[in-house]
Amino acid sequence: MRFARAFFIFWVAIRFGLDEFASSNTLLRAIRAIIRAVFFSRRLDQPRGERLRLALQTLGPIFVKFGQVLSTRRDLIPLDIADELAYLQDRVEPFDSILVRDILNQEFDENVDQVFREINLTPVASASVAQVHFGELTDGREVAIKILRPNIRNTIKRDLALLDLVAFFLQRLLPDGRRLKPREVVGEFRRHLEDELDLMREAANASQLRRNFEDSPLLVVPEVYWDFCRTNVMVMERMSGIPVSKLDELKANNIDLEQLAASGVEIFFTQVFRDGFFHADMHPGNILVQTDGRYVALDFGIVGALNEVDKNYLAQNFLAFFRRDYRGVAQAHVDAGWVPKDTRIDDFEATIRSICEPIFDKPLKEISFGRLLLNLFQAARRFNVEIQPQLVMLQKTLLNIEGLGRELDPNLDLWKTAKPYLENWMSEQIGINGFIKNIKKEAPLWTAMLPRLPRLIDAFLTQGAAGQEDELKAEIDLLKHRVKWLTRGLVAITVIGTLAIFLYVVAQ
């Protein structure tokens, strides 16, 4: 079976001319010459990116999903291919409706009729990993039921093994193999799929996002009905709304598209900087709009998370960027360790300026974030910038926001819309309110760790017990981080207090 699948993949690759991607290697060039001689009648009229997209669609849903992930790695693949792969959609043939009841009966111990009063066996959405049906619980609540495809785990395991094998040979044979890191890309893809194969994890993601935006005037998230969720089945509140891509219908319902676009930007920055937890698959197929103008988020299989350090450096970069402070952008990269410490700041600053300056004072319709990201990644390679894995999801989400904004309001000024929000967020983080919030947050940890400080220092200086050096060093680094914040807070209080006393004396 695996040999037959491998042969089918090889045949599809030849049919769509994917052998041309290997033309830079001597051995593969020879193989390609043989292929061209044997299959001389094939016609390859389409561009290479389009042929790759069609090949992935022919190979099936797992390869389509892989192409979607690959389209976000503009640091690794050419722009024309990334743009073409971005068109891939999870429009997959649904599985047999008879299997729907079989799966539900298995998950609910043959008591499916005691859970659901009604189930529509025709799916409303069918993707590579799961499909969604509408139904009604016995208590009358209307629900959406997400069901994993039968035998999907075995299918994924088989195709991932073949993908990893192909990636292994590409990494060994292509001149750019080490830089492109194809096996790491496959590994990243595997992690995404593992998340999506556990619908309890997706239910938890939805629940977290709903809690973050409870009573929000901007975003609605469906309620998860935990009593009916399983690893293979997720049951949630059925949501209604207008697909965000249907602009005529939105206008007919008197929805302000300009405000809708601005709200999308605010939702994005709120998720990233306030919560550090964001929906990372916000393409139009996962977004509805209610008649009151609020967004409805769907499909929570892919989310991203950022820690406080990531958020702080991102905010510094965004703000410096919005203010055209390119030296600040360059310095933030050095401070974060994303570029080597010996990088010449003036050279890095000049490169960033040459990339970013041309896009300012332009509406969204005149800006290509794809081109901007490509140029930034080319500069990143020149200066040995380490691409942060946790930011790849953010890049994907930003591209989704760009596409959504371009559809809703081509004249949207992304910079003017986002800048006030970021400035307010930064003032809350580094001002007196931020200091007080951090003190409250850190106080319990300080209470627990301070008594241990003498023992930790003594153990660290004497190298500690065998095998504990890394643990001790981590605790010492954490203490150093807290001391740094405490010092900053004391300095801020001292400055503010001195200024208050000075103003009081002057007033007298």
Is the separation of the CB atoms in 21 and 48 below 8 Å? yes
For 135, the enclosing helix (H) or strand (E) is strand 130-137
Is the separation of the CB atoms in 180 and 225 below 8 Å? no
Sign for the CA dihedral angle at 75, 77, 83, 85 comes to negative
Q: For residue 70, give both structure tokens.
A: 């690959």
Catalytic annotation, residues: 281
Q: Give dist(CA 165, CA 2) in Å, integer.
A: 12
Q: Give dist(CA 90, CA 93) in Å, integer.
A: 9
Pairing label, strands 219-220, 295-297? parallel
Q: Give dist(CA 379, CA 377) in Å, integer.
A: 5
Q: Cα dist. 267→236, 322, 365, 451 in Å?
A: 22, 18, 20, 42
Q: Cα dist. 458→2, 394, 446, 462 in Å?
A: 58, 42, 19, 6
Specify the amino acid at residue 208. Q
- Residue 48: Cβ-neighbour burial (10 angstroms; 0-12, 13-18, 19+): middle
